[in-house]
Amino acid sequence: MGEGAREREPGSRRERYRAHNDQWYETFSRRDQVPVRWENTLRAGIEALGPDTPGGKRIAETAAFFEFLQKELVGTMDRRREHKATR
């Protein structure tokens, strides 16, 4: 799901990749995206350093940024799905 296919040209050692329909949508709409993992890792860092320490505060700001990105990405993917349905 959401992955392309690696193919070999007949009689050649050359490989080519074919993207499936909606591959980008599937890739970006998954909930386990890298920003979510980064956000979780950053939250663990906040806990380790302490939320009131200078480092903990900087990490908290970065975690809030990734949380914002994830919410925006979900909204963008929803709007993309709606747009595609009207085409």
Same domain, 26 and 37: no
Same domain, 26 and 36: no
Same domain, 7 and 37: no
For 54, other C-beta atoms within 10 Å of its C-beta total 9
Count the domains in the chain.
2
Does an H or E element contain 18, and which? strand 15-18
Give the model confidence (pLDDT) of 34-54 as tens digits: 777 888 899 999 999 999 999
Same domain, 4 and 36: no
Give the model confidence (pLDDT) of 46-79 as tens digits: 999 999 999 999 999 999 988 888 888 888 888 8
Q: Which domain holds residue 14?
A: 1-30
- In one-letter notation, the amino acid at residue 87 is R
Distance of CA 24 to the CA centre of its chain: 10
Same domain, 9 and 49: no
Same domain, 20 and 59: no
Same domain, 47 and 79: yes
